[in-house]
Chains A and B, each alone.
Chain A
């Protein structure tokens, strides 16, 4: 009952408000985060300054493939569960503020530019749903009905400037851009993208939306500033017609892949990271790595890229030096490394090891572990610094 003890030990000491007799000092939210503990449907509230668990919030349902997006003040984490649960967690009070079940099968969500709308992306029923960020009241919905009676799974949802959201439709092979300026009357534009988009990202400036394609050698890119040009294929034929390896886990794409004028992208079905110039969108290099990449994340300064891998090679993490464009370190944080998260300025990275029930914190310069936190089958790690970034 270690967790329960922690829960009782800290609330007054660490967190704000909530009738603590000792009247704790107010605190900011800029160094807080949530870790998904999927074994028991709970999240840990952590501080990346003190590298500790401050509290545990239970009761969030099925958290496999859970995702968190933050209110712009970093106080609330919106946790999207696989079972369609959408839970608004108050990090300061360390408790659930609101919780609804909004779909049968969900894989994530995002928040609007002005912070007033939370949007969920769903597999079942396929589509997006729009909620009031305060109350979680549903305001509207865009069914991903790409042909009469046929709904696609929605992947790769990203917020865009102008109260818009871009996302891809797996079965339809399309990218949709929905304008929520009037949140009760969504307006949607459709673009043909390519076969089986599996995830997507928007560049940190909110301009280029890029979907990875499972069914094609290449990625689909939409320039949001010039939508009239339609989708452009980038890295077409990166597999050079060679047979791709079986893919045991789909890679994940996000804006963290872009740094220093380059995007670092997982090559699906290959043991490679692809490097693209973000001005020309031409391939400039490919870096051989240990196995098939899942997360390819640039340290915020762009000097390093950290990579984890798909089953069965998921006990390793590799570090790429972006100047030398080669792997400079291979780490073994624990079994089944599922996720990594950099601190806002990148001096440390937190790495979750599901099967060893821990999160390991590395110093990114020395690449030595500096702390370890026990966690029950940890998967995603989400720091509140995401609140201020486009595409998170």
Chain B
């Protein structure tokens, strides 16, 4: 017996949502790695974006400044940099899921040095 099409849809959608949620959780870096990333962002991104991320040679990376920006493109910026600007790529120092975690944390309000989420 074929299930009604609507149900299939709902099931697929729910499945996708769970998969996405699960993937996000699974992709979150371990707490020790989170602390490393937090310190890297504060100190080494901070040398251009400011220790408080309020901006420097690079723009502010505070939640209100990033609110309207697509996550994907910011993750790409962090991984590959922006040619022709002073923004370097960081793929040597973090994986793409880690860059995505960093971007999402920036959008939420970045943890203080020494903290993990």
Q: Which residues of A contact B (CB under 8 A)?
A: 38, 62, 64-65, 82-83, 104-105, 107, 123-124, 153, 170, 196, 198, 214-215, 246-250, 311-312, 336, 354
On whether the beta carbons of B57 and A62 are closer than 8 Å, the reply is no
Contact among A64, A196, A247 with B88 in the assembled complex (CB-CB below 8 Å): A247
In the complex with contacts A246-B89, A249-B44, A64-B51 CB distance below 8 A? yes
For A170, the chain B residues whose CB sits under 8 A away are 57
A279 to B6, CA, bound (A): 82
Q: Name the one of A62, A153, A250, A311 contacting B44, with C-beta atoms under 8 angstroms.
A: A311
Interface band, chain B: 10 to 19
Q: Please judge, given known A-B contacts A246-B81, A248-B44, A336-B43, whether A82 and B51 are in contact too, CB under 8 Å.
A: yes
For the complex, what is the distance from the CA of A142 to the CA of B57, rounded to whole Å? 19
Q: How many A-B residue pairs have CB under 8 A?
A: 58
B43 in contact with A354 (CB, 8 Å): yes
CB of A168, distance to nearest CB on chain B (Å): 12
- Contact assessment for B46 and A123 in the assembled complex, using a CB-CB cutoff below 8 Å: no
Q: How far is the CB of B76 from chain A (nearest CB, A)?
A: 15
Per-residue A-contact encoding for B64-103, CB less than 8 Å = 1, 0 else: 0000000000000000010010101100010000000000
Picked from B51, B55, B56, B88, the residue with its CB within 8 Å of the CB of A248 is B88
Question: With A248-B88, A250-B57, A311-B44 known to touch, is A82 a contact of B50 (CB < 8 Å)?
Answer: yes
Cα of A123 to Cα of B49 in the assembled complex, Å: 12
28 A–B contacts from the bound complex (CB under 8 Å) = A38-B51, A62-B51, A62-B52, A64-B50, A64-B52, A65-B47, A65-B56, A82-B51, A82-B56, A83-B52, A83-B54, A104-B54, A105-B50, A105-B56, A123-B57, A198-B57, A215-B84, A246-B88, A246-B89, A249-B47, A249-B48, A250-B47, A250-B57, A311-B43, A312-B44, A312-B93, A336-B43, A354-B43
* Contact for A250 among B51, B86, B93, CB less than 8 A: B86
> Bound state CA distance, A312 and B93, in angstroms?
9
CA distance A312 to B92 in the complex (A): 10
Q: CA–CA, A247 to B44, complex, Å?
A: 11
Report whether A105 and B44 are in contact in the complex, using a CB–CB cutoff of 8 Å.
no
Cβ contact within 8 Å between A198 and B51: no
CB distance from B106 to the nearest CB of A (A): 17
A81 to chain B, nearest CB (A): 10
A57-B65 Cα distance, complex, nearest whole Å: 33
* B56 partner residues in chain A, CB cutoff 8 A: 65, 82, 105, 107, 123
Which residues of B are found within 8 Å of A312, using beta-carbon distances?
Answer: 44, 93
CA distance A311 to B94 in the complex (A): 14
Task: List residues of chain A with CB within 8 A of the CB of B54.
Answer: 82-83, 104-105
Q: How far in angstroms is the closest Cβ of chain B from A234?
A: 21
How far, in whole Å, are A170 and B44 apart by their CA atoms in the complex?
A: 20
Chain B: minimal CB distance from A85 (Å): 12
- Closest A residue to B47 by beta carbon equals A249
Residues facing A in B18-58 (CB within 8 A) are 43-44, 46-48, 50-52, 54-57
- List residues of chain B with CB within 8 A of the CB of A250: 47-48, 57, 86
In the assembled complex, the CB of B30 is this many whole angstroms from the nearest CB of chain A, namely 20
Q: How far is the CB of A311 from chain B (nearest CB, A)?
A: 5
User: Which 10 A-B pairs rank lowest in CB-CB distance, beginning with the nearest?
Assistant: A64-B51, A246-B88, A311-B44, A249-B47, A248-B88, A214-B86, A105-B55, A247-B88, A62-B52, A82-B50
Interchain nearest-CB distance for A358 vs B (Å): 16
**Contact across chains for B89 and A311 when beta carbons are under 8 A apart:** no
CA distance A215 to B84 in the complex (A): 7
- Give chain A residues whose Cβ lies under 8 Å from the Cβ of B81: 246
Give bound CA distance, A104 to B44, whole Å.
Answer: 21
**Taking CB as reference atom, which chain A residue is nearest B54?**
A105
